[in-house]
């Protein structure tokens, strides 16, 4: 008998490629194509490096206070972490400890089943319908240990109406319902109003997409005060000092620059709609997206062929080989106008 007999084995999450070559177009991990705001850059320049000898505030008070003011909630309704992945990890650890399965779609953010497997949480993947849509009826009247919905969903980009989200929350009052809103700023209606009405719903957000801070790893949850207390209990039992001092300052600065936030989000939405229209002219189909990416399928060319062709030409997009029914789709992040123009030129040369 060796140590390997006691290993907790899982099939790990597969992150998107992070190529290091120069002169590439990176449209594979849904990062913001625009830099952080000038206020964020100033916060970094002005950061007191002498403070690095001190542990950061475990409560993340300045960031939580800024987020609370921004969203009009109480400070003790906010929980911050090292990206929304960290936040959701703590949520899974805290609230999904029962014997009944946690429900989430079969085609969604592929970290959910990884966390569930790692933490030995029973779960059930609910198939999307033939149009790649979440059906609220599949999450109503089921005995479960929790519900996790990415809204808009990823990788499909499709938004579930807020009324459907509320129906799911109302039907599952005895368990925690997590609404992962990583992409909500790109055209969706947030479930944040439900936090005031229901004490079992947690809304999770990230700075990685609409705030141009994927490299700083900032995520947060907003929920009933009691739920936040439970999250902090678990956080302090794992790692009290999760977010470093510079990141906290940058997070506050990003929230304070509303004008830049709206400007960049608006540009991304405009480019998204242009790209969708042009791709459809080239024989692609895709669901209506309310995110910073498009989920596309070509009428003739296989996704793997397009993926490899683009990669050979220094353009990176995302291909998923499972589940099988989406292996002919590509997920294309929205880049700058210049990047999208280059992408379209390459595709036109290949698929037409």
The predicted-structure confidence for 299-348, as pLDDT tens digits, reads as follows: 999 999 999 999 999 999 999 887 889 999 999 999 999 999 999 999 99
What element of type H or E holds 330? strand 330-333
Single pTM value for the model: 0.96
CATH number, domain 23-36+259-351, options 3.40.50.300, 3.40.30.10, 3.90.1150.10, 3.40.50.150: 3.90.1150.10
- Would you place residue 8 in the very low, low, confident or very high pLDDT band (cuts 50, 70, 90)? confident
Give the CATH number of domain 38-45+53-257.
3.40.640.10
What element of type H or E holds 266? helix 258-281
The predicted-structure confidence for 244-286, as pLDDT tens digits, reads as follows: 999 999 999 999 999 999 999 999 999 999 999 999 999 999 9
What integer pLDDT is reported at residue 130 of this predicted model?
Answer: 92
Q: Return d(Cα 52, Cα 248) in angstroms, integer.
A: 12
Q: Among positive and negative, which fits the CA dihedral 166, 168, 171, 176?
A: negative
- Would you place residue 17 in the very low, low, confident or very high pLDDT band (cuts 50, 70, 90)? confident
| Every domain of the chain and the residues it spans | 23-36+259-351, 38-45+53-257
Q: Determine how β-strand 146-150 pairs with β-strand 102-105.
A: parallel
The length of the chain, given as a count of residues: 352
């Amino acid at each position: 008998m060796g140590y390997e007999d006691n290993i907790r084995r899982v099939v790990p999450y597969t992150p998107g490629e992070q190529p290091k070559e120069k002169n590439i177009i990176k449209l594979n991990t849904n990062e913001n194509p625009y830099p952080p705001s000038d206020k964020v850059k100033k916060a970094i320049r002005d950061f007191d490096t002498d403070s690095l000898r001190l542990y950061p505030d475990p409560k993340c008070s300045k960031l939580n206070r800024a987020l609370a003011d921004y969203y009009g909630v109480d400070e003790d309704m906010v929980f911050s972490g090292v990206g929304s992945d960290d936040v959701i990890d703590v949520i899974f650890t805290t609230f999904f400890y029962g014997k009944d399965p946690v429900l989430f779609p079969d085609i969604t953010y592929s970290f959910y089943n990884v966390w569930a497997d790692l933490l030995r949480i029973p779960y059930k993947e609910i198939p999307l319908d033939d149009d790649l849509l979440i059906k609220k009826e599949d999450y109503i009247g089921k005995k479960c240990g929790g519900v996790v919905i990415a809204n808009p969903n990823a990788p499909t980009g499709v938004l579930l109406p807020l009324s459907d989200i509320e129906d799911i929350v109302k039907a599952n009052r005895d368990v925690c319902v997590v609404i992962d809103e990583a992409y909500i700023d790109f055209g969706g209606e947030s479930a944040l109003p439900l936090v005031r009405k229901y004490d079992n719903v947690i809304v999770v957000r990230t700075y990685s997409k609409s705030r141009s801070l994927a490299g700083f790893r900032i995520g947060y949850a907003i929920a009933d005060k009691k739920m936040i207390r439970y999250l902090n209990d678990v956080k302090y039992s794992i790692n009290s000092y999760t977010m470093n001092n510079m990141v906290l300052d940058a997070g506050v600065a990003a929230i304070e620059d509303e004008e830049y936030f709206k400007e960049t989000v608006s540009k991304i939405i405009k480019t998204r709609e242009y790209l969708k229209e042009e791709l459809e002219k080239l024989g692609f189909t895709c669901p209506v997206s309310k995110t910073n990416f498009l989920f596309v399928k070509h009428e003739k060319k296989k996704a793997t062929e397009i993926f490899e062709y683009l990669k050979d030409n220094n353009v990176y997009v995302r291909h998923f080989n499972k589940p099988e029914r989406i292996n002919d789709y590509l997920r294309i992040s929205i880049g700058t106008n210049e990047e999208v123009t280059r992408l379209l030129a390459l595709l036109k040369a290949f698929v037409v």
